[in-house]
Structure 1
Amino acid sequence: MEVLSPFDLTPLQWVLMAVCGMLIGMSKVGVPGVSMIVVPVLAFIFGGKQSTGILLPILMMADLFGVGYYRRHAEWSYLVKILPWAFVGVGLALWVGEVVNDEQFKDLIAILVFLCIGLMLWHDRRKGKTFFPDSWWFAASMGVLGGFATMIGNVAGPIFAIYLLAMHLPKNSFIGTSAWFFLILNFSKFPLHVFVWKTISWPSLKLDLMVLPAIALGAFLGILLVRKIPEKVYRAAVIVITALSAFLLLI
């Protein structure tokens, strides 16, 4: 689906866009995993490759909320280790995105979503255990995989979370380092989407800007929800809904 104007969307699609904006806003203030639901939903509306260009500016706006609040808590030594490898993964995904069609692109997104869900479940089972050393090969593998996942489907969150959790960072440092990582990557990906994949245009940017109030509302609601929803109930719901959405992409 080529986005010609914000007015091309149906009322239902606008509702889904608003919900997606809210979920992205929530994810940037500490609600873990919720943005995974957004990826398959937007792929349904716009198609696999086009949806990545629709989602990226929404993520960039939400990144500014996260960095604005946690900007002083980043651990730059860990970012320096993983960012170069993440750019390698972005370059690999850029090439793959040029040689697959839209149906294959949606399949790739679904597979990456399932992979990330698997990583989330695997980490939950090993909570409290030291499962990887602080070594260059771990940063390299997580960086390449995360860079590939973020370019193909904007689903690198769980992968980078595994990397930071292995470093045993405290809560604020975890959120602050993650916020800077995704702000740097997402802003770097923007010209690639504009000039190489051509998935971002002025009409699509206008559509994204109209979602900004929903992003802000999601950030506000996220702060409240994190305090009230039991962690186990929340994570279970996110994983089930995301898995179902990703499965539908494969049909």
Structure 2
Amino acid sequence: MHPDYLYLACAIIAVIISGLAKGGFAGVGALAMPVMALGVDPVRGAAILLPILILQDAVSVWAYRHSWDGQILKVMLPGAAVGIGLGWLFASQVSEVAVLGVLGAISVLFGLQRLWVERGQAVVLPSDSPGWVGFLFGIGSGFTSQIAHAGSPPFQMWVLPKKLPRDMLVGTTALAFAVMNWMKLPAYAALGQFTTANLTATAMLVPVAMAATFAGVALVRRVDPARFYTLIYALMILLGLKLVADALMA
């Protein structure tokens, strides 16, 4: 396949996955970056997706603007800022191949962690674990979000044991990742990724992403979630292994 066609196919699939995630299939969005990386270098692919994620975040934040936990945000967002800074430093100092390998490793670990959780085997932290633990998980969330737009597992591992009401959990998560995505803008700008070509690519993908978001809202009630998520996480592991293999053989 011609490289331009490969990029286009991967980009469309990635934004559809991202849209489905924002539309209700929570957790599947982490598959977007491994797919995107099949057609374009991972840093550029993440930069193309970032404005789309920010646009989609606006819808979620507006919908849950009255339901969020300020204490969780106060603890985790400073850590996320540190993690995003570390992710930027990593991407700026190493080769594209190294970033590809780390993206693949994150994808494999994410997929395995989610399959483990789906089997009811999650490691549960105490609901009253101290703030410094949340700060550390915030660092992990920020780093994986910067590299792979996949910051959910570290965030959820600290927040879920607190057993927030549903709307409070969704609203806090939406606001946290909306803020993180805005935090990533300077990092990607410093990496020189907001070029005319990249922003044009983003603009062309926005209609697909928004249509996929609304499709996700409609489909989430019609699809067997257990089988769907198992398939998604298995694909994430396989794609992650391919990216790691590609990095090792480069």
Q: Show the counterpart of 1:51.
A: 45
Which of 177, 202, 208 lines up with 2:172 in the alignment? 177
- Cα deviations across residues 31-68 of structure 1 (Å, max 9, x unaligned)? 12211221111112111222221221121121112112
Pairing partner for 2:219 from 208, 213, 225: 225
Offset at residue 126 of structure 1 (A): 4.1
Note the 1:9-28 alignment, pairs <5 A: 10-28=4-22
Contact 1:114/1:246 (8 A) holds in 2: yes
- Give CA deviations for 1:219-239 in whole Å, capped at 9, x if unaligned: 111112221222211110111
Superposed CA deviations along residues 185-206 of structure 1, whole A, max 9, x for unmatched, are 1112112211x21122122112
Aligned to 2:78: 84
2:248 aligned partner:
none
Question: 2:84 touches 2:183 (CA, 8 Å); kept in 1?
Answer: no
Q: Which residue of 2 aligns with 1:4?
A: none
Q: Once superposed, what is the RMSD of the aligned Cα atoms? A: 2.1
Change (3 A) 1:235 1:108: same
Of the three residues 206, 226, 243, the one matched with 2:237 is: 243
1:105/1:12 CA distance change after superposition, 3 Å: closer
Q: Quote the offset at 1:130 in angstroms.
A: 4.8
Provide closer, same or farther for how the CA distance between residues 212 and 87 of structure 1 changes in structure 2, counting only shifts above 3 A: same
Structure 1 length-normalised TM: 0.89
Determine which of 189, 193, 201 is the counterpart of 2:188: 193
Which 5+ residue runs of structure 1 have no aligned equivalent?
A: 1-7
Counterparts of residues 100-249 of structure 1 (less than 5 Å): 100-126=94-120, 130-134=124-128, 135-194=130-189, 196-249=190-243
The code of the aligned residue for 2:107 comes to V
- Contact (CA 8 Å) 2:11, 2:39: kept in 1 or not? no
Report the TM-score when normalising by structure 2.
Answer: 0.89
1:89-109: CA deviation from partner (whole Å, max 9, x where unpaired): 111112111221011110011
User: Whole-Å Cα distance in 2 between the matches of residues 122 and 140 of structure 1?
Assistant: 24
Q: C-alpha separation between the residues in 1 aligned to 2:110 and 2:103?
A: 11
Alignment match, 1:5:
none
- Percent of paired sites with the same residue: 25
Output the CA distance in 1 between the equivalents of 2:107 and 2:50.
16
Residues 28 and 179 of structure 1 are in contact (CA less than 8 Å); yes or no, is this contact kept in structure 2?
no
Deviations 1:75-124 (A, max 9, x none): 22211111011111111112111221011110011111222223323433
Q: What is the number of residues matched between the two proteins?
A: 243
